[in-house]
Amino acid sequence: MESGEAASNILDPWPTSADGNEWDGKGLLDLVQRGESPFRKSLDIRALIVEIEQSLKSSVLDIPMAYFGAHHFGFHVVLKARSDVIVRVSREDTCNRAYRGSITQQLQLLNSQFELDVYRALVPLGSPFNCGPVYHRDPVLAAARSTSSVRGVSGRRIVVFERAEGEKYDYVRWRALSAEQKSRLLREAADAAARLFEFEPSQAFSSTWMRRRASGLDFQSPPADFPASRQACEVLLKNKVRDTVQRAASNYHGMKKSQLSRLDTLEKTLQQLCSCLLPQPRSYQDENMLYRFVLDHGDFGIHNMTIAPADADNMRITSVFD
């Protein structure tokens, strides 16, 4: 991965207001119409509006709120004669030569492909997981000689989602709920988590993405269908050990031979330990129960959900994200 300094050259920062303070994200459309876009030369909001209107065949009436995450800017967009949408725009731009061809660009492309496949895979689960995009496109690669100081949106990834009913639940909203409301909401969240755990992705999905995501860009896996099994799990663990040790070694330049030798010994020992950690199935049926591929959210919680009132006393989860 790029260093922190390199990442700061790749990710466009959250803009500041005219007074130099961090922008509060409000009233973007009005600011743009007055020629006072806080994004200035880094992101052409007018071009973004044109693309949204053309792709969704609806006029933009307002952009009441903007925000940002680790790799994206987000915009709540109000449209004419259709539901509101959330527009996600990458903070990286292929017009930026520091980003073009970087490891970050490779990983972001891989992550985007995976995300879209996950949305398609989760459709059979229904609500709150079937919340895939209504429009998306990859960034258009800029010409190598492109050095324009005013960047549009063509070099950025854009993903548009229908805005789910309700609100993202931060801890302020959570604390405002009664004990009974919290208990019921947690039961619903637990039920959703159980459904996700019980869901088994298709063989094609698992085979493709285990190879490509299990241990970075250089993951080494058997050239087969890669079915869920004890052997497959052992391969995953051993690759993870190899990858982790190699990353540790690459972070410390100028290591002595003795230190490299210790790392090599550590890797071999951990590789041997992998075989001992995994339970041996007693039958084919036993192996199917012990070893199977699942989709793990990784950060499943109220803070990554939108929640709406179901009635006076109950809340319901309308989407799960991140």
Residue 150 pLDDT = 46
SS3 158: strand
Between strands 85-90 and 158-162, the pairing is: antiparallel
The Cα 75–Cα 246 span in angstroms is 39
* DSSP H helices in 155-220: 171-176, 179-198, 203-213
pTM (2 d.p.): 0.81
Residue 55 pLDDT = 96
In 120-170, where do the E strands start and end? 135-137, 158-162, 167-168
Write the CB contacts of 135 (distance below 8 Å, at least 6 apart in sequence): 55, 56, 158, 159, 160
Superfamily of domain 4-163: Phosphorylase Kinase; domain 1 (3.30.200.20)
Between strands 85-90 and 315-320, the pairing is: unpaired
Q: Which residues of the chain are under the pLDDT cut of 70?
A: 1-8, 142-151, 214-226, 251-254
In 49-110, where do the E strands start and end? 60-68, 72-79, 85-90
Residue 151 pLDDT = 63
- Give the tokens for residue 161: 């989602």
CATH 3.30.200.20 domain locations along the chain: 4-163
Compute the Cα dihedral for 183, 186, 188, 194 and give only its sign. Answer: negative
Residue 148 pLDDT = 45
Residue 105 pLDDT = 82
- Give the tokens for residue 247: 């990353």
SS3 60: strand
